[in-house]
Amino acid sequence: MTRVNEGSHFFFLSLILVLISIVIQLNFDDVFSFRPDFVLAALIASAFFLGFLELIFVALLSAIIINWQPILSYEILILALWPILVYFLNRFFPGKAWFNSLIMTALGILILYASVILRNFFDSFSLIALDVSVCLVFGFVIFNLYEKLKTN
């Protein structure tokens, strides 16, 4: 079981981190010409520290903010459901929670890309690798922020 903490004191922090992630994600491509999935990385890191209902609220809120259109897409469903699935799956993963968080982040991004550009998945490998790399660093920073605040 790799559940790190189930406490509501991380709820407001996760809201702030996800909102910051949304702002960064939506504006990142203006500077760097691609848009990493920072929100997914933040939600996956949060899945190791939030309670179930808190995670559902934060995941659905982020999906609503990112997808303000009335039509659901595969990307939004994955964004909302993958962290919830990670919440349940992380009980069965052996090892360190930070490492499991990184694996789930990479896997989530790969699933996200596979659902969107399955036909051109291997043609876009360099973009996907860049996205995974940037999101792994971002997710690791967020996970460590939770860890530092948990120990204080």
Please say whether the beta carbons of 129 and 123 come within 8 A: no
Question: Could you report the per-residue pLDDT of 28-54, keeping only the tens digit for each?
Answer: 877 787 788 999 999 999 999 999 999
3-state secondary structure 102-129: HHHHHHHHHHHHHHHCCCCCCCCHHHHH
pTM: 0.87
Question: Could you report the per-residue pLDDT of 71-127, keeping only the tens digit for each?
Answer: 778 888 889 999 999 999 988 888 788 999 999 999 999 998 888 777 776 777 888
